[in-house]
C-alpha cells in the first residue's frame, strides 16, 4: 500500500517531462527541405554527430567534410549549417546532410554572383567531355576547355585541385547546371591593364620602338608599351607585300604610326606606310597613259604579271596583253620573275590604285603586216582538224587562222577534210581578217567554175546545152562546163513539160540536154536549171512563128523544122 503513491508520482513526472519536451520541439519549428543550424557534439572516425534540437542527434558521414578541408577546422561545439531532409524517418532517425546544405547555399550565392559577375574561387577536380569539373563553394560546375585560359593549353596539371578565380557565365536552374570561366577573369584583368595603358597613347602618335612579337601571312603583331597592336600587311608598304616575314624578324623594333584605337574592343592598329607620302598622290605627273616605261617583274600569276614601276607602285600586265598571237598565253611562258622589261601604260585608276600595262604594245604587231596580205597566197601548217574546219599557223608569222571545209574546194564537200592531216603544209589565200581572226581559202587559188557564166555571157533566162552526168531517182545531175566542175541537179518536176516524160530513167549518161537558167546567184553560188522551162519557151516560140497547129497532136519538132526549112528554101528560090 505504501508503494502506490510513489508510482503515481513517477508517472506524473514522466508525463510532465514529455509535455515539456513536446512543447520545446513544437517551439523549435523545424521544417523539412530547409537549411538549419546544428552544433557539433562529437567527431568519430566515420561520422560527425550534431545536435539539431530535434528528438535525437543527427549523424553526418565524415566524407561530407573532406572536400574543402572543413574537417581540419571542425571541433566539438562548432556550429554548422545542415540540410534537413526528414525530421523523422521510419526508423525514428533525423536525416540531415552537410553536403546538400553547402550546395544549396552555393547555388543561392551563385544566382547572386551571376547577376553581379563577381569573381569566385573554384577547384578544377576532374576532366569530362568538352571541359572540366570545377567545384565552386561545394557546387560542381562545368568549365568548357575554351574557357580555361586566354590561349589553348596543352597541359593543365598545374591548375588541377588548386584555387582558381572564375566567373559564372551560364545558369540553368531547371537542370541545376552552372558554367564557369577562368578565361573571363583573365581577360577582365588584362582588359583593365590595357585600358590603363591605352591612356598613354592616342591615334596619330608615332611610336619609335614597337617590337615585333609574331608574323602571319596577313600581318604583324606588335608590342607597343605593353599593348598588343596589329600591323596589317596592307599597312606595311604602299606597294604590294608578298610575305610580312620577308621584311621583319621577331624582336625587331619598328617605327609605326597609331592609326586606330577601338575603345570597345581595346584593339590597336598601326601602320608603317602612313609615315611616308602616298606615291599615287601625284602619279599622273610622273606617268602618262600611252607612254612606254621600264620596270621589273615581281610576281607571275595565272592571269598575268605584276611589274614594279618604282618603290610603292606596281602595275599588272594581263595575259591578254602579253602576246599578239595568243590572247590566253601562260604568263610564265613569256616573262620570268626579276626580268627587266619595257611596257606601255594602258590605264591608271588613282582611286583604286590600279595600273594596267601592256607588254605586247612594245613589240612589233604582226596583225598590221598580215592585213597587207589579204588576197595573197601564203603557206600554213595544220595544227588541228575539227568536224568542219582546218586550223593552221602561218609558216611566216605564226598567226593562226581557219580554213572552212567549204573553202577547200568548189564542190564544198565536207569529205575533203579527210584528205589532210596534222602538220601538213598547205598553200592557201587569205580572204578575210576580222576581229583578229584570219580566214583562209584553198579553192581561191583555182579558177572559179562559176566564171563560166561570165566568160560565156550567160544569164537568167538563157537556154544552155548540158550533158547528163548522173541519173538519180529524184532527177538528174548535169554538167555545164566541159571540165565537169559545174554540176547541177535538175529536179524530176523540171525534166519535162509533160508529167509522163518526167521519168529520170528515160535519160542516159552523157546525153545532151537543153535547159533554161531560171536562177543564178553568183555571190551565193546558186544555180537552178529547168528542161521544162526550156520546152515551154520553145513551144511559145513555135506558136508565135507557125500558129496554134504547130503544137497539136501528130506534129513533131522534126516535121515542124522541116516545114519551116522548106518554106524558107522556097522563099530563097
Single out the residue of 84, 34, 90 nearest to residue 60, CA to CA: 84
- Give the phi and the psi of residue 85 in degrees, each rounded to 5: -90, -50
**Number of C-beta neighbours around residue 229 at 10 A:** 23
Residue 181's region, left for phi above 0, alpha for psi from -120 to 50, else beta, is beta
Position 180 scores a pLDDT of 92
| CA dist list (Å): 128 to 103, 145, 174, 184, 292 | 20, 10, 21, 20, 69
Global model pTM greater than 0.75: no
Cell representation of residue 138: 561545394
Residue count of the chain, please give it. Answer: 573
The secondary element (H helix, E strand) that includes residue 206 is strand 206-216
The domain 366-445 is classified under which CATH number: 2.40.50.140, 2.170.130.10, 3.40.50.1460, 3.40.640.10? Answer: 2.40.50.140
Which residues lie across from 432 on neighbouring strands? Answer: 439
Q: Is 561 helix (H, G, I), strand (E, B) or coil?
A: helix
Q: Give start and end residues of each alpha helix (H) in 456-552.
A: 531-546
Single out the residue of 91, 105, 129 nearest to residue 34, CA to CA: 105
Which residues lie across from 214 on neighbouring strands? Answer: 221
Position 554 scores a pLDDT of 45
Position 553 scores a pLDDT of 45
Q: Where are the domains of the chain?
A: 18-101, 117-189, 200-275, 287-362, 366-445, 453-551
**Number of C-beta neighbours around residue 513 at 10 A:** 17
| Domain 453-551 annotated CATH 3.40.50.720 | no
Look-up: residue for cell 506558136?
543
Tell the CATH superfamily of the 117-189 domain: Nucleic acid-binding proteins (2.40.50.140)
The domain 287-362 is classified under which CATH number: 3.30.1180.20, 2.40.50.100, 2.40.50.140, 2.60.40.650? Answer: 2.40.50.140
DSSP state, residue 448: P
CATH number of 18-101: 2.40.50.140
Position 78 scores a pLDDT of 82
Position 21 scores a pLDDT of 55
Listing DSSP states for 215-263 in one string gives: EETTEEEEEETTEEEEEEGGGT-SS--S-GGGT--TT-EEEEEEEEEET
Position 92 scores a pLDDT of 67
Contacts of 16 (CB under 8 A, 6+ apart): none
Which residues lie across from 222 on neighbouring strands? Answer: 212, 229
Long-range contacts of 270-274 (CB under 8 A, 24+ apart): 270/207, 270/210, 270/222, 270/224, 270/229, 270/230, 270/231, 270/235, 271/231, 271/232, 271/235, 272/231, 272/235, 272/236, 272/237, 273/235, 273/236, 273/237, 273/238, 273/312, 274/235
* Mean pLDDT, the chain cut into blocks of 10 residues (573 residues total): 54 66 57 79 85 78 72 81 75 78 79 84 90 86 90 85 90 84 84 72 85 87 83 81 82 88 80 84 87 92 92 90 86 92 92 90 84 87 91 84 90 88 91 87 86 86 88 89 85 86 86 88 86 86 69 49 50 43
User: How far, in Å, CA of 489 to CA of 471, rounded?
Assistant: 10
CA geometry: angle 80, 82, 88, nearest 5 deg: 130
| Domain 200-275 annotated CATH 2.40.50.140 | yes
Would you say the CATH fold of 117-189 matches that of 18-101? yes
Position 567 scores a pLDDT of 47
Amino acid at each position: 500500500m505504501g508503494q502506490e503513491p510513489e508510482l503515481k508520482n513517477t508517472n506524473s513526472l514522466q508525463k510532465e517531462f514529455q509535455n515539456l519536451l513536446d512543447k520545446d520541439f513544437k517551439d523549435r519549428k523545424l521544417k523539412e527541405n530547409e537549411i538549419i543550424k546544428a552544433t557539433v557534439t562529437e567527431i568519430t572516425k566515420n561520422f560527425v554527430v550534431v545536435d539539431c534540437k530535434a528528438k535525437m542527434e543527427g549523424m553526418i558521414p565524415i566524407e561530407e567534410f573532406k572536400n574543402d578541408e572543413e574537417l581540419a577546422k571542425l571541433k566539438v561545439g562548432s556550429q554548422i549549417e545542415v540540410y534537413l531532409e526528414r525530421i523523422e524517418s521510419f526508423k525514428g532517425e533525423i536525416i540531415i546532410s552537410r553536403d546538400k546544405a553547402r550546395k544549396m547555399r552555393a547555388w543561392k550565392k551563385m544566382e547572386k554572383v551571376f547577376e553581379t559577375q563577381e569573381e569566385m574561387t573554384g577547384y578544377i577536380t576532374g576532366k569530362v567531355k568538352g571541359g572540366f569539373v570545377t567545384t565552386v563553394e561545394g557546387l560542381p560546375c562545368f568549365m568548357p576547355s575554351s574557357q580555361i585560359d586566354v590561349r589553348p593549353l596543352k597541359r593543365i596539371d598545374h591548375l588541377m585541385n588548386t584555387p582558381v578565380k572564375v566567373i559564372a557565365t551560364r545558369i540553368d536552374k531547371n537542370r541545376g547546371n552552372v558554367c564557369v570561366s577562368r578565361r573571363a577573369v583573365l581577360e577582365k584583368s588584362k582588359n583593365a591593364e590595357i585600358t590603363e595603358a591605352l591612356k598613354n597613347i592616342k591615334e596619330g602618335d608615332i611610336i619609335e620602338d614597337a617590337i615585333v612579337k609574331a608574323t602571319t601571312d596577313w600581318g604583324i603583331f606588335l608590342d607597343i608599351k605593353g599593348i598588343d597592336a596589329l600591323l596589317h600587311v596592307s599597312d606595311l608598304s604602299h606597294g604590294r607585300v608578298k610575305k610580312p616575314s620577308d621584311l621583319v624578324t621577331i624582336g625587331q623594333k619598328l617605327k609605326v604610326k597609331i592609326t586606330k584605337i577601338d575603345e570597345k574592343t581595346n584593339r590597336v592598329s598601326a601602320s608603317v606606310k602612313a609615315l611616308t607620302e602616298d606615291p599615287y598622290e601625284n602619279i599622273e605627273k610622273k606617268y602618262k597613259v600611252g607612254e612606254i616605261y621600264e620596270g621589273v617583274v615581281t610576281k607571275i600569276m595565272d592571269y598575268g604579271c605584276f611589274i614594279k614601276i618604282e618603290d610603292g607602285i606596281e602595275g599588272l600586265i594581263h595575259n591578254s596583253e602579253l602576246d599578239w598571237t595568243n590572247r590566253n598565253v601562260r604568263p610564265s611562258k613569256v616573262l620570268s620573275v626579276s626580268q627587266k622589261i619595257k611596257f606601255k601604260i594602258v590605264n591608271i585608276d588613282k582611286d583604286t590604285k590600279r595600273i594596267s600595262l601592256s607588254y605586247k604594245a612594245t613589240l612589233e604587231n604582226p596583225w598590221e603586216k598580215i592585213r597587207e596580205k589579204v588576197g595573197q597566197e601564203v603557206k600554213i601548217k595544220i595544227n588541228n582538224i575539227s568536224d568542219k574546219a582546218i586550223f593552221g599557223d602561218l609558216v611566216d608569222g605564226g598567226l593562226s587562222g581557219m580554213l572552212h571545209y567549204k573553202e577547200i574546194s568548189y564542190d564544198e564537200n565536207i569529205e575533203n577534210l579527210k584528205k589532210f592531216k596534222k602538220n601538213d603544209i598547205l598553200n592557201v589565200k587569205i580572204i578575210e581578217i576580222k576581229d583578229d581572226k584570219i580566214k583562209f581559202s584553198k579553192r581561191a587559188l583555182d579558177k572559179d567554175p562559176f566564171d563560166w557564166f561570165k566568160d560565156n555571157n550567160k544569164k537568167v533566162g538563157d537556154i544552155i546545152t548540158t550533158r547528163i552526168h548522173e541519173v538519180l531517182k529524184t532527177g538528174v545531175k548535169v554538167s555545164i562546163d566541159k571540165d565537169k566542175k559545174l554540176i547541177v541537179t535538175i529536179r524530176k518536176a523540171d525534166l519535162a513539160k509533160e508529167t509522163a516524160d518526167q521519168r529520170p530513167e528515160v535519160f542516159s549518161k552523157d546525153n545532151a540536154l537543153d535547159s533554161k537558167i531560171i536562177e543564178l546567184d553568183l555571190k551565193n553560188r546558186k544555180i537552178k536549171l529547168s528542161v521544162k522551162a526550156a520546152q515551154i519557151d520553145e513551144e511559145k516560140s513555135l506558136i508565135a512563128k507557125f500558129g496554134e497547129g504547130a503544137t497539136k497532136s501528130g506534129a513533131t519538132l522534126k516535121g515542124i523544122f522541116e516545114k519551116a526549112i522548106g518554106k524558107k528554101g522556097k522563099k530563097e528560090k
